[in-house]
Structure 1
Amino acid sequence: MYVILWHPLAFFPSILSVIARFSMLFLLITCPRNYIFLDLMVANSCHCAWDTATVLCSDAGLREIPEGIPPETVSLHLERNYIRNIPESAFSDLVHLRDLYLSHNRIDSLASGALRHLGPELRLLDLSHNQLRQANREEFGSTRAKTRLYHNPWHCDCALQELMETLNLEPETVNGIICESSVRGVGQPLVKLLDSGVNFCSLQRKTTDVAMLVTMFVWFFMVIVYVVYYVRQNQAEARRHLEYLKSLPSPRKTPAETDTLSTGF
């Protein structure tokens, strides 16, 4: 006869396994799909603060905007990474975003309309400490968020002037927008140049007019040179042909022609 002895802890590992599975099932049911997707894709790079709907991807070594950011995100931190560009659809689903931190990256280009998808709730857009040289209104859309653009190697031109007049720039940092290159005022804050009466749009039009006049003059000069060259070539060719005709021997008269002339007298 066999005696089966039962111990209370004999099935303890199985109980733990069941509890773990039920916990995972509970998370799958209660958590938004996008949040889980983000954890699976960038678990080693980003962290989520669920109580404040904040996604933290700072100092994560990222080279591009991560995918799967939950659409419920309110604050997104992507500062101090190696991101170089922002594609057009990078933030297309983040309609509730209020704060977007992109400072201390290597961003040198924005796709047309890259920030247009950000909703009207956006309050802060930080693009400081990047490599932006040029920007225009199409790239920023109609955002009214407080914007930081300082510490970028800006090329001051008409497009940047129009953008400055459109954006809600942060007053404390506006003097940090320095013209690294420009037709005028290199090394000076753009806002001070504009306040002093400098108009890059009118300068651009004048530069364009001068360039057009120079181009027309060069084209006209080339036409004149070609016409003069063509006429001289024709004259030289005509002289050579005339000299050739003169060098030909004159035709000698035949005896029959001589007799005819003698008979006539």
Structure 2
Amino acid sequence: MHLVDLWLTRSLSMCLLLQSFVLMILCFHSASMCPKGCLCSHSGGLNVSCSNANLKEIPRDLPPETVLLYLDSNQITSIPNEIFKDLHQLRVLNLSKNGIEFIDEHAFKGVAETLQTLDLSDNRIKSVHKNAFNNLKARARIANNPWHCDCTLQQVLRSMASNHETANNVICKTSVLDEHAGRPFLNAANDADLCNLPKKTTDYAMLVTMFGWFTMVISYVVYYVRQNQEDARRHLEYLKSLPSRQKKPDEADDISTVV
């Protein structure tokens, strides 16, 4: 019995030692793959925190098993194509409080279907490609950006799963219609279909152009007629001013002789 207890005690110690060794290897592996300036930890999956790391671009050596990725409060200005394509387990992506201005068309390719939360608030985004958020299932935060409200933005928000909630927080910094500047996007979209404005604007411009040409033609015709009338009047006055032809004395004598 004593031997059995001793064996169990040693077995338990070995199991604990082995478990500690495995955890140490995992931690070392995660630490060795962690991008420079970031902190990596395991809490419901690999958590990569690169907040306030003075990053100017998104790291390209992110661990493939990353589940939570925090890139907020940096100096990132763009999101390149397929930058997250290998992060198939990514659930949370925080890119808030950067200087992001450009989001490429395929920026979220590879994570659009799995991403649950996307934070792009407090950046400098004015517009994005109409396909940038295609198939995105995440709850997106895109408030506090200088959005330009136009047809493209309308298409983008319609393509997002939570577009109504997302659109509620979008304020038009500028717009294709000046009266929409400073107003919530939903108000602008309710007032007019922003995707039909270019055609209407083109038709209006065409009418204005045609009216302008018509006015020019009429003005020219009126000017031409008046100018001709003035020339005719002057010519008539000139003819009237010419001295009338008088008969010569010899011609008068000849006529008298004949009579």
- Shorter chain as normaliser: what TM range? 0.5 to 0.7
Task: In structure 2, list runs of 5 or more residues that go unmatched.
Answer: 1-20, 218-259
Aligned partner of 2:39 in structure 1 is 47
SS in 2 for 1:125: strand
Deviation at 1:176, TM superposition (A): 2.7
How many residues align? The count is 190
Picking from 197, 202, 206, the partner of 2:200 is 206
Structure 1, unpaired ranges of 5+: 1-22, 225-265
Q: Which residue of 1 aligns with 2:109?
A: 116
Tell me, in whole angstroms, the C-alpha distance in 2 between the residues paired with 1:213 and 1:110.
Answer: 38
**Residues 171, 58 of structure 1: CA spacing in aligned structure 2 closer, same or farther, 3 A cutoff?**
farther
**Percentage identity across paired residues of the two chains:** 39
C-alpha displacement of 1:106 = 0.3
Matches within 5 A, 1:69-218: 69-169=62-162, 174-184=167-177, 185-194=180-189, 196-211=190-205
- The Cα offsets for residues 114-134 of structure 1, whole Å up to 9 and x where unpaired, read as 112214221111111000001
Amino acid at match of 1:203: L
What secondary structure does 1:134 align onto? coil
Supply the distance in 1 between the matched residues of 2:117 and 2:203 (Cα, whole angstroms): 40
Change in Cα spacing, 1:119 to 1:160, as seen in structure 2 (3 Å) is closer
How far off its partner does 1:144 sit? 1.3
Query: Given the superposition, is the C-alpha separation of residues 111 and 37 from structure 1 closer, same or farther in structure 2, using an over 3 Å criterion?
Result: farther
Alpha-carbon RMSD across the aligned residues, in angstroms, is: 2.8
The TM-score with structure 2 as length reference comes to 0.65
SS at match of 1:163: helix
Q: In 2 relative to 1, CA 152–119 (structure 1 residues): closer, same or farther, beyond 3 Å?
A: closer
Amino acid at match of 1:133: K
